Each structure stands twice: as structure tokens, then as C-alpha cells.
Amino acid sequence: MVTLMENARSRTIQILTILSLLALTITSGCLETPDATPAKASNDALSKYGWVQVGDVVYESQEEEITGTVIKINTAMMTYQDEQLGQKIQEELRNLQNQYNVQADTQLPLPGSQLTTLRLVLPGGFSLPSGVTSRLVDSQVDTLADQNNIDNFKKVGDREITVKDGSTITANTYAGAIPLDDNNGASIDVMGIIAMWSGSNSNVIVIGIVPDGDINLNMEAIEKTIITIDGEAEIENILELIKTIE
């Protein structure tokens, strides 16, 4: 499975391409770009919903010169995972393996729910125009689906929420399915959520993906459900985390 962190690196490259659209609105020469700080969910919210940070914050800087204008972006990216859900999946899998006396090397295409945050800082602390933001959201949907092998990944709704700085933003939700590599047409349903907003001289992108419904163990004569996941509830938890990001 391609991780959301790897997806986010690809998105940085896409962002640089779209930044070329901004060249005419930025003063000639090299404007200073502030450092990017990570877009963090609160520790209280992470503890409440059983989520943890995965890995370290990844800082990156990229530059592009367009008609004499040096455009530099700084980014800070971090990833969270629903630790409670991941532990529950593994516990139920072990129980089934012990019950039927089998040892299955089960590689799930989506081990649990994940959330990646990316703070993007432009020269002079510029905010992305709404038209560019809309195009970025569309590109994130395509990238998330392509790199995670999600079929029929379509928008199914949106939610308005208020984030930490008081801004009201729209979070779009999506649904699709990841085929399993077992030659019987089985798949795991997934849901996704993508939101972007500007504030404090930076732009924040959040992308989440969660399993939804039954996760099954298919081995020899065994065909059992490991766990049934309420994808809507997982999305609600991610929304609560997003509300605390600053």
C-alpha cells in the first residue's frame, strides 16, 4: 500500500506546477518564504479518539524560477493513525487464527485509518487563490485514488466545520473500494476526506482515508469477517481532529 506520506510528496510536486499560475501575481525577484511549522492536531483530541502520530515531521523546501520570479515553497508534513482501530484489527485477526489453528500472512491494503496534514507556505506568506485551491483538491482526489488503487472513488458529500482559527471550511468526503489481491473479486470499501484552508500566512491541506464495512479473512476453507468498521464514525473522528489543528 502507498502511504499518505508518499502521496503528499507527490502532491508537493503538483503544487509547484500549479504555482506557475501565481507567477504574475507575485512581485519580481525572490521574496522571502517563512518557515513552515507542522499543522498539528491537539494532544487531547488524539488521546480522546485513540490516534497517534506516525513517524517524524517531514520538512521540505522547493524552488522554481518562472520568468525571473523565484517561487519557493516550504512545507511541513505529518501523519496520524488510528492506533485503537489498528490494534483491534490485529487482535481480531489473531483470535480467528487461533480459533481455526492457521497462520495467515494477511496483508491488508489499508491497515487502518490515516490522516496526513501538510502546511504549505508561499513567498511572503501569500494564500492560495480559491481557483487554485479548487484545482488542488481535484488533483488530490485523483492522486489518492491512483496511488492507493481505489476504484470508483467519488465524492459522496461535504461537511462545513469550524477550525481552530475560527474559519469555517468545507471538508469533502469520498467513497470507493480497494480490490484485494486474491483473485476472487473481493474488495475493501474505503472512505476519504479532503479539506484545505488558509490562515496565519500559510495554507493547510488535510487528507484522510479509512476502511469501511467488513474486513474478511479468506484462507483455504475459512471465510470469516475479521471486523466490521463504521467508516462514517471514523470520518467523524477525523473531523473532530481537524477542528483542533493549528
Strand partners, 187: 179
pLDDT score at 216: 76
Number of structural domains found in the chain? 1
Q: Could you write out the DSSP letters of every residue in 54-72?
A: EEEEEEEEEEEEETTEEEE
Rg of the chain over all Cα atoms, to the nearest angstrom: 20
Split at pLDDT 50, 70, 90, the class of 30 is low
pTM, entire model: 0.83
42-46, 81-85, 102-106, 126-130 — which one is most confidently predicted on average?
42-46
Range of the domain at 168: 4-243
The rounded distance, in Å, linking the Cα atoms of 45 and 214 is: 27
pLDDT score at 39: 95
Q: What are the E-state strand segments in the chain?
A: 29-30, 51-66, 69-82, 114-121, 151-162, 168-179, 187-199, 202-219, 222-229
Split at pLDDT 50, 70, 90, the class of 128 is confident
pLDDT score at 105: 53
pLDDT score at 116: 93
**Predicted confidence (pLDDT) per residue in 189-227, tens digit:** 999 999 999 877 889 999 999 999 888 776 666 677 888
Span 120-131, mean pLDDT?
78
Span 51-71, mean pLDDT?
83
**Predicted confidence (pLDDT) per residue in 69-119, tens digit:** 677 888 999 999 999 998 888 888 788 778 877 665 555 656 689 999 999
The rounded distance, in Å, linking the Cα atoms of 59 and 42 is: 20
